Structure 1
Amino acid sequence: MAEDPFELDRAALFGVAYRMLGTRSDAEDVLQEAWLRWHRVDRSTVENARAYVFRLVANESIDHLRRARARREDYVGPWLPEPLVGDLAEAVALRESASVGLLLLLETLTPDERAVFVLHEAFDFAHAEIAELLGRSERGVRQLAYRARQRVKARRPRQEPDNGDHRELVAGFMAAAVHGDIEVLVKLLAPDAEFRADADGQRETPRAPMYGAVAIAEWFRIAAPFWPAALRVDVTSVNGGPGALVTGGGVPFLVAAFEVDSAGHVVALYAVLNSAKLAAVSAP
């Protein structure tokens, strides 16, 4: 008996849903709904099973994203994607094109633009294939793809992040952040660095994005009560890039994702503290 195409491509299907929605829980909900729909289909009527399951996940993701955006209107402070920590990003085919920074850029696209961008850029579907998946004309898909690329290109940093290991940089930054060492932080941060913290009002974090090395360093200087007791910092990968997991008494407290330029400076720091987004993170 041939293996179920849904199970064969489960990691990639999760990758589509996660890039579309930015949260693991929503992506898993989409996969469950798509799986149920797939198992109600008369397989004898399906010519291309792989294309069919991708269509189910893509369209379910579009519908789910429209509902999710309505819920996010009441979110307190910056919204960040739910982080995937350690080897999990590798396991679900997310190493490429799933950085926290890029997922934030994808939030600026319409649901249809986002679906076309993800399927074409991350999974190499041709425009004609995407048109069939989404029930659109090929010309319409090409127009969506063009608009999506232009929007992402316009908002991407002038210098692309460096994909090196950066373990020492992350460890040094986190030590300086915990101790409020302004001098070290300013040296490690790019002059126009960006800092976003997602706590949904659960922690005393900046309610708007912060910009500039000095301003960010000063925030960490006055944030001594911010850190938990029995603190532990583990350098790890987050969404396939450099990051850190902070625990307090063995409980996940914060996941930080870093974007680093070729000069070895932190150009963006994304910190997730919302406990709902850390529920799936395993403490070391």
Structure 2
Amino acid sequence: MTAPQSPIGAHVPVAGGLATGGLKYAAEIGAEAIQVFVANPRGWALPEGKPAEDAKLLARTDVPVYVHAPYLVNFGSPSEETLAKSIATVRHSLVRGRAIGARGVVVHTGSAVSQSYDAAMAQIHDHVLPLLEEIPDDGPDLLLEPMAGQGKMLCAKVQDLGPFFERLEHHPKLGVCFDTCHAFAAGHDLAAPGGVKDAMDALVATVGEGRLKLVHANDSKDVCGSAKDRHENIGAGRIGEQPFADLFRHPAVAGVPFIIETPGRAPEPHAKDITTLKSLRAD
């Protein structure tokens, strides 16, 4: 049996709504899937938006959609205010995501900042598990995205997802977004022979089959283990093209959408990155 093909897309702007922003740009660059913000990525405002209009538009397309939660979200923060705002912000992303038919909401796994790892993980159990319980069966999954390993990040290597899944009781609405640049920066040498297989096998062994829901396909400006989150265009960085071809061929990734978050002034470099990934998918 032939494995399902992974759609390849991009994080897209949605100024003016999905119709005039996201989907128009997606078509321009050849994207087969999109990721969007439904709020200011660097703020706490929770705009109502126009989800009904967006949903009508998406009903006429078969483009898989994902939402990325704002960057300020940190479930591990010792600040009660930051924690409360983080929960409210992700709840907003989940509600808006459901309204536009999104399959998942991506959220960074966060940092303990000035408190202990155990204290941060305890509050993740206390606050994020109830949030997962609010998601209806047809609502988007909450996708945990491991980080590059800087500071007191709670999760960088895929094995670090184990305690998250344990604290969150392996909730059925919990999934994973695997970022290739983050993983490389955290120490998974995807560029080495067998490196992609090792990382994906470790991911499946840690969280189980079927939990990988999205791949952020980004090359890296920095070396493996640098703990630096600096994205590069596909094939132009330290990871190179071949590992992305290897990634398409791992059983855990079959049918999982790829989203680029690569640099450059739109649309030329993004169209090229998508073309490159499509060629690697087909090889």
What is the TM-score with the length of structure 1 in the denominator? 0.30
Greater helix fraction, Structure 1 or Structure 2: 1
What is the TM-score with the length of structure 2 in the denominator? 0.30
